[in-house]
Amino acid sequence: MYQENVRDGVATSILSGLGWLFDSFVINIYALALPFIAISFHAKPLALGFIASLFLLGYTIGTIGFGILTDYLGRKRTLSLSIAGYAVITALTALS
């Protein structure tokens, strides 16, 4: 019984850490992708600032929205939706 609890605790800690890692990756990927966006789309600094503002606005709305959605759907379903959305958006970013 005790070993099961420890194993569950370790798994939860690792998965939570990975969630935090990927969350920070989302924020940092923008800074890494910005120079390539500027080159590929011949974007001016004003346009890049506008894109950054939209990114942060969307991130904020998504954070609040998924927090509220968790109250209605539960953590598992909301996390599944979040991961699916993350995968789709990342794939679309790679294709751009």
pLDDT in tens, 5-57: 788 888 888 888 887 887 777 778 778 888 888 998 898 999 999 988 988 89
Angle at Cα 34 formed by Cα 31 and Cα 40, nearest 5°?
A: 160
Residue 1 pLDDT > 60, yes or no? no
What does the pLDDT read at residue 81? 87
Give the mean model confidence (pLDDT) for residues 53-81: 88
What does the pLDDT read at residue 57? 92
What does the pLDDT read at residue 68? 92
Residue type, 77: R
What does the pLDDT read at residue 58? 87
What does the pLDDT read at residue 42? 92
Question: Is 57 buried (19+), middle (13-18) or exposed (0-12) by CB count in 10 A?
Answer: exposed
pTM of this prediction? 0.62
Structure tokens at 53: 């503002």
